[in-house]
Amino acid sequence: MATKKKLVLIGNGMAGVRAIEHLLKLSPESYDITIFGAEPHPNYNRIMLSSVLAGGADMKEIVINDWDWYKENNITLHVGHKITKIDTDRKTVVSNLGIEAAYDSLIVATGSNPFMLPLPGADKEGVIAFRDIKDCETMIDASKQYKKAVVIGGGLLGLEAARGLLHLGMEVNVVHINPYLMDRQLDEAASRMLQRELEAQGMQFLLKKSTASIKGKRRATGLVFSDGSEVDGDLVVMAVGIKPNVDLARLTGIEVNRGIVVNDFMQTSVPDIYAVGECAEHRGIAYGLVAPLYEQGAVLAKHLAGVETAGYAGSVTSTKLKVSGVDVFSAGIFVETPDTKALKIQDDLGGTYKKIVLQDGKLIGAVLFGDTSDGAELFSYIKSGESVAGREKELLLGFSADQLGQSSGGNSRLEAMADDEIICGCNGVSKGTIADAIMNKGCNTVGSIKACTKASGSCGGCKPLVEGLLQIYAGDSIGEPVKEGICGCTTLSRDEIVEEITRMKLMSTKEVMNVLGWHNPEGCSKCRPALNYYLGMLYPEEYVDEKESRITNERYHANIQKDGTYSVVPRIYGGVTSPTDLKKIAEVAEKFEVPLVKFTGGQRLDLLGVKKEDLPKIWEELDMPSGHAYGKTLRTVKTCVGNTFCRFGTQDSMGMGIQLEKAFERLNTPAKVKLAVSGCPRNCAEATIKDFGVVAIDGGWELHIAGNGGVKVRATDLLCIVKTEEEVMEWSSAFLQYYRENAQWNERTAQWVERVGLDAVKQGLENREDRLALKDRLEKALSVTTDPWKQIVETDELRKNFEQLSGAEPVKL
């Protein structure tokens, strides 16, 4: 009999043990298996922790594999052991308690660590995350001695933690920085209903509060907010995201990026060492959801068992929204604007709310609260764009049995799903797997499907879908609502995406698309540029701009023309140039035989008809910053001559314009941005149809916002009047950053202000402390940018990168 190989698993969590489960099925006699777990527990379902706190389950119920399972499979288990050293020469691991184990193959599944806000006092006793059984036990113990808890964050995880603490008999305050709970998923009415529902459960809310520090000496006694107010609490819970646990791998010399870098077979940079789960980074993506981690485990098991496998190619995941026992749904554009009409039904007694938003006879958005049964049907109308004129009230009041089909209306949604679509996100079970269990393995109940596939065996949220699939293949069904997002690739809205990127610290477009469950794993021309912008906006110092995710013109740093040539526009600050620059532009135009040189409406010179292959050399010889005439960024700052020459001028408009343009050049924005400075109210620079306009008056400056001189002309709104140039810079910086952080991708300032309202923008900027914070964030974003052509012309390698990008399939508008 062949000698068994030694397999060691570091980490007793869901991902690593799932790989072992698969391996035991494929090749039960190949390995002697040893598992080290840092927690003193058998393998358990972390997703169910909120149910434990809320009283829906006890600790025993969330165990996936009990103590007997390890014994039955001859697995040596060391719990409460943290591996502190991997000796890659001797092929051994050593625990903090002195246990040493040899390996032929080693799996690192160290998972992730909770992200703790770096607040003063965060290291005090009583400040915890919401991540593992120990955190649950800490909450349970605290509830026996203390009565006041504070949860930072009004998102899904924070509200679930708060509900659990309420069940433990604690008084709970939830702190949320925004005016409404779940404000990125719900409109104000639905958010208020959710708040009332949760207040009825006993939660208390402190909205529009920014935490400055945690008070107390040895133990936390509450929070201090930036406005000086305070709240008492002997337990402070943070649930604000995770980061891969890579400390051991880094110490060992294994290649680490955000996570432990692995290939398609989950191999690390060190021979015979593998990584799987939240600690692993595959093709630049570190997943934070369960389904991808299980798929990784299945591939790794096949590889270790010697079974042929195509390898792991990344995952498409799925999500849904259920907040503290309340179903919510949102899709499309559900915020009303002057161009839309909304119909609403609000039943405060029944706890339900329904709003549909229409534009030009089409359904463009919806919000459902409490009863989400019509979600899928509403979504289909939003997606199709078909006219619903004359049927608006019918949509509002609900779909009849005749419309849906007496016996199979709900089933149609499930029937349309692809076989590889994940039904059970907790356990990574697809529709095809469940269908096979029903049709070929005799599973004809939810219980038997659970036993066979583990679908619905964890949080239970997918049970209606499992029942629906049962009815398709063996009986009646219930559907499950879906949501529409920023494009057809996802069900998530802009705000949901930004929230999840922040919560899970997602750092690439590919990672976002995989972790957040894109239907199309490659994305599309709408979502890829949007994700690239959101990531750069959120993480200006960490995120590496993905050139391949930019639109065509931004890739080539020039405007493509209808004949296939390009337009090159160097930056001319405030429309003010010099004989030297003019001569340089003229010489370059002559040398490269540029067919046309034209003055633009933004007071610059445009070199038209440039060949693509000449672009790098033209920029190199110009040696001038790009005017970004092609980008979603600051285009121009138009100026008049002001009081420097004009007898009517009251201020130095040229100086102000140059100052603004130099301050904001290279700033990435959701859509193009144009500025102007007029030296007097005669407004020769047309500042009142710009995104941000400055008009000089006696003793000060008028600041105007949200103008548009395009197809749909819109005059600006007056934001405020200031006295000094320093105030102009402060307000303009704050406004642009507020726009960057809150507007949708490809939404001009005019559309954005019309959508959110002028009062909302003024309110967001009225506090000077908030303005300075916005200004700081804008300056941080700008501090890491350089002119793109400076990078391209500096090295041969970067020039080659340009050539590769130029040859790639472009993202088109």
What string of DSSP letters covers 749-791?
HHHHHHHH-HHHHHHHHSSHHHHHHHHHHHHHHHHT---HHHH
Output the pLDDT for position 259: 95
Output the pLDDT for position 457: 64
Other CB atoms within 10 A of residue 455 CB: 29
Lowest mean pLDDT among 34-43, 334-343, 420-429, 622-631: 420-429
Question: Is it the case that residue 812 has pLDDT exceeding 70?
Answer: no
Question: Is it the case that residue 287 has pLDDT exceeding 90?
Answer: no
HEC letters along 329-393? EEEECCCCCCCCEEEEEEECCCCEEEEEEEECCEEEEEEEECCCCCHHHHHHHHHHCCECCCCHH
| 443 labeled binding residue | no
Q: What is the pLDDT of residues 692-728, one digit of tens each?
A: 999 999 899 999 999 998 767 899 999 999 999 999 9
- Banded model confidence at residue 368, pLDDT cuts 50, 70, 90: confident
- Banded model confidence at residue 373, pLDDT cuts 50, 70, 90: low
Question: Is it the case that residue 157 has pLDDT exceeding 50?
Answer: yes
For residue 557, give the amino acid letter.
H
DSSP E strands in 45-159: the ranges are 63-65, 76-79, 83-87, 92-95, 100-102, 105-108, 112-114, 127-129, 148-152
Average pLDDT over residues 274-280: 95
Alpha-carbon span 531 to 663, nearest angstrom: 25
- Percent of the chain at pLDDT above 70? 86
Lowest mean pLDDT among 109-113, 124-128, 365-369: 365-369
Q: What is the pLDDT of residues 203-256, one digit of tens each?
A: 899 999 999 999 999 999 999 999 999 999 999 999 776 789 999 999 999 999
CATH tag for 415-478 (out of 1.20.120.80, 3.30.450.20, 2.60.40.1120, 1.10.10.1100): 1.10.10.1100
Question: Whose CA is closest to 85, among 73, 74, 94?
Answer: 94
Question: Is it the case that residue 257 has pLDDT exceeding 90?
Answer: yes
Work out the mean pLDDT of the chain and round it to a whole number. 83
- Banded model confidence at residue 462, pLDDT cuts 50, 70, 90: low
DSSP 87: E
Question: Is it the case that residue 286 has pLDDT exceeding 70?
Answer: yes
Check residues 760 and 468 and name the one with the higher pLDDT: 760
Output the pLDDT for position 319: 35
Alpha-carbon span 620 to 182, nearest angstrom: 49
Alpha-carbon span 301 to 33, nearest angstrom: 13
DSSP 111: -
Q: What is the pLDDT of residues 537-554, one digit of tens each?
A: 999 888 888 877 777 677
Q: Does the fold of domain 127-240 match that of domain 5-112+243-305? A: yes
Question: Whose CA is closest to 436, among 419, 415, 424?
Answer: 419
- Banded model confidence at residue 420, pLDDT cuts 50, 70, 90: low
Specify the residue for token string 């790009």.
626
- Banded model confidence at residue 20, pLDDT cuts 50, 70, 90: very high
Pick the most confident of 31-40, 64-73, 425-434, 598-607.
Answer: 31-40
Alpha-carbon span 509 to 283, nearest angstrom: 11
Topology of the domain covering 5-112+243-305: FAD/NAD(P)-binding domain (3.50.50)
Output the pLDDT for position 553: 73
Domain ranges in the chain are: 5-112+243-305, 127-240, 415-478, 558-625, 632-786
| 640 labeled binding residue | yes
Q: Which two tokens stand for residue 256?
A: 């680490």
Question: Whose CA is closest to 220, among 152, 137, 135, 125?
Answer: 125
Output the pLDDT for position 805: 43
Q: What is the pLDDT of residues 499-509, one digit of tens each?
A: 999 988 898 88
Average pLDDT over residues 156-173: 84
Decide: pTM greater than 0.85: no
Question: Is it the case that residue 316 has pLDDT exceeding 50?
Answer: no
Specify the residue for token string 């404000």.
183
| 489 labeled binding residue | no
Question: Is it the case that residue 464 has pLDDT exceeding 80?
Answer: no
DSSP class per residue in 529-595: HHHHHHHHHH-TTTPPP-GGGSBHHHHHTSEEPTTS-EEE-B--GGG---HHHHHHHHHHHHHTT-S
Alpha-carbon span 139 to 248, nearest angstrom: 29
- Banded model confidence at residue 376, pLDDT cuts 50, 70, 90: low
- Class level of CATH domain 632-786: alpha beta
| Angle at the Cα of 195 from the Cα atoms of 193 and 201, rounded to 5 degrees | 110
Specify the residue for token string 């390996």.
103
Q: What is the pLDDT of residues 664-691, one digit of tens each?
A: 998 999 999 999 999 999 999 999 999 9
For 524-540, b where at least 16 C-beta lie within 10 A, e where not — what string?
A: bebbbbbbbbbbbbbbb
Question: Is it the case that residue 516 has pLDDT exceeding 70?
Answer: yes
Q: What is the pLDDT of residues 47-85, one digit of tens each?
A: 777 777 766 566 677 788 888 889 989 999 999 999 999
- Class level of CATH domain 558-625: alpha beta
| 680 labeled binding residue | yes
Lowest mean pLDDT among 20-24, 193-197, 477-481: 477-481
Question: In terms of CATH, what superfamily is 127-240?
Answer: FAD/NAD(P)-binding domain (3.50.50.60)
Output the pLDDT for position 62: 79
DSSP 445: S
